[in-house]
């Protein structure tokens, strides 16, 4: 089966890479259509795995008429793409409409979020275009998937959709005392220190400024705490500058985008996710598989993780700092057993892949 995934950079990359690494590539080939001009973090690995990466300027750059024409030309030029699996919010509507016009038989709309990533006056023209595309999502999709019930409602309204878990390779994230020791030694973090961890792209959605506010409230009372920030993005320089003036700034580490995320999850003691909105983040499933206590905002849908994760309202940092003060650390044995618990909830990547293969073959 020859599958084209239409996507941008972000959390969906991690899900697709998880699927691709586990797939039988003699039976299932993934190619990618992206709207980013520069090479993506995973692109060298994609090419090693035999995937093609195609590029097309974004809707906001071309405008609706030229963008629609470019999509139709692409699909007609690549008749081998018999499955189009789109992850691009409401722009999916126009993508699948043009795929239908080109005769693509399987057209999948996949919702990963609960609102447009960009907001405010500057984003208004782009979001109006995306809203215009929304009209074609439901009628042009042969399958509708979503990572959470909230994500399904946002993109598909009352239409039926299947909840498709953002699976992870649960065994890969199993707690490792050896990795914990190695990562802490790399950064000079004492064995007895408590490590707070955030994994996410530096963009407004992830709310890094609020995260630093939590640190500012908590750090003076917890001088042995460290804060590790994994990820990259356009707001990283601004966030680094903001961190420099905070108490305990020497214990805040910006680690960039990493290929060894499981090791850093083992090194951590708490996972923090104060996002302004989410679908259901892959990073939360990874943190759960690593056995980490998780504090997340009340804007993060939890679905199967509802009994395992503590939600805290956004607004003031003090309740987050108080929750950190009360938090009970997970014991090594408890953490080591977490992958099986997460797999039992349906979030193992192999179960996700089996279901996806069924959808593609139907």
Comparing CA positions, the residue from 88, 127, 76 lying closest to residue 10 is 88
Task: Kindly report the backbone phi and psi dihedral angles of residue 343, in degrees, each rounded to the nearest multiple of 5, phi listed first.
Answer: -60, -40
CA distance 12 to 69: 26
Q: What do you get for the CA distance between the two ends of the chain, in Å? A: 12
Cβ atoms of 179 and 263 within 8 Å: the answer is: yes
- Residue 7 pLDDT class (50, 70, 90 cuts): low
pLDDT digits (tens, 9 = 90+) for 139-178: 999 999 999 999 999 999 999 999 999 999 999 999 999 9
| Mean pLDDT, rounded, for 6-26 | 81
Q: Which domains are seen in the chain, by residue range?
A: 2-167+349-361 (3.40.50.2000), 170-344 (3.40.50.2000)
Residue 348 has pLDDT above 80, yes or no: yes
- Looking at the chain, the whole-number percentage of residues with pLDDT higher than 70 is 98
CB-side exposure of 85: number of CA atoms within 13 Å?
A: 19
pLDDT at position 2: 74
175: left (phi over 0), alpha (psi -120 to 50) or beta: beta
DSSP reduced 3-state for 11 = helix
| Mean pLDDT, rounded, for 302-308 | 86
Q: What is the DSSP letter of 143?
A: E
pLDDT at position 9: 55
Beta bridge partners of 158: none
DSSP string covering 243-274: HHTSTTGGGEEEEES-S-HHHHHHH-SEEEE-
Task: Kindly report the backbone phi and psi dihedral angles of residue 111, in degrees, each rounded to the nearest multiple of 5, phi listed first.
Answer: -95, 125
Find the range with the poorest average confidence among 164-168, 183-187, 290-294, 335-339: 164-168
Cβ atoms of 262 and 179 within 8 Å: the answer is: yes
> What are the Cα distances from residue 41, in Å, to 38, 45, 56?
9, 9, 18
pLDDT at position 10: 63
Cβ atoms of 290 and 270 within 8 Å: the answer is: no
């Amino acid at each position: 089966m020859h599958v084209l995934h239409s996507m941008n950079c972000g959390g969906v990359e991690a899900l697709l890479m998880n699927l691709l690494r586990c797939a039988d590539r003699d039976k299932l080939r993934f190619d990618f259509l992206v709207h980013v001009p520069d090479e993506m973090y995973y692109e060298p690995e994609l090419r090693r795995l035999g995937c093609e990466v195609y590029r097309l300027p974004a809707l906001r750059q071309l405008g609706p008429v030229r963008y629609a024409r470019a999509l139709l030309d692409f699909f007609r030029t690549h008749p081998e793409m018999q499955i189009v699996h789109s992850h691009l919010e409401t722009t999916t509507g126009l993508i699948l409409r043009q795929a239908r016009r080109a005769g693509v038989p399987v057209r999948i709309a996949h919702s990963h979020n609960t609102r447009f990533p960009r907001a405010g006056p500057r984003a208004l023209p782009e979001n109006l275009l995306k809203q215009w595309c929304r009209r074609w999502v439901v009628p042009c999709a042969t399958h509708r998937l979503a990572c959470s019930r909230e994500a399904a409602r946002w993109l598909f309204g009352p239409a039926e959709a299947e909840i498709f878990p953002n699976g992870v390779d649960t065994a890969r994230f199993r707690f490792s005392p050896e990795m914990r020791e190695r990562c802490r030694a790399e950064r000079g973090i004492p064995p007895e220190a408590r490590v707070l961890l955030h994994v996410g792209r530096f963009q407004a959605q992830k709310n890094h400024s609020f995260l630093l506010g939590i640190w500012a409230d908590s750090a003076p009372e917890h001088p042995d705490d460290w804060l590790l920030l994994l990820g990259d993005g356009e707001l990283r320089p601004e966030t680094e500058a903001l961190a420099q003036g905070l108490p305990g700034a020497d214990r805040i580490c910006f680690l960039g985008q990493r290929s060894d995320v499981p090791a850093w999850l083992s090194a951590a003691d708490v996972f923090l996710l104060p996002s302004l909105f989410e679908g259901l983040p892959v990073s939360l499933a990874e943190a759960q598989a690593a056995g980490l206590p998780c504090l997340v905002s009340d804007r993060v849908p939890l679905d199967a993780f509802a009994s395992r994760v503590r939600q805290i309202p956004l607004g003031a940092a003090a309740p987050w700092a108080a929750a950190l003060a009360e938090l009970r650390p997970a014991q090594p044995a408890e953490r080591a057993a977490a992958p099986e618990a997460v797999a039992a909830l349906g979030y193992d990547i192999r179960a996700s892949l089996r279901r996806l293969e069924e959808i593609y073959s139907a």
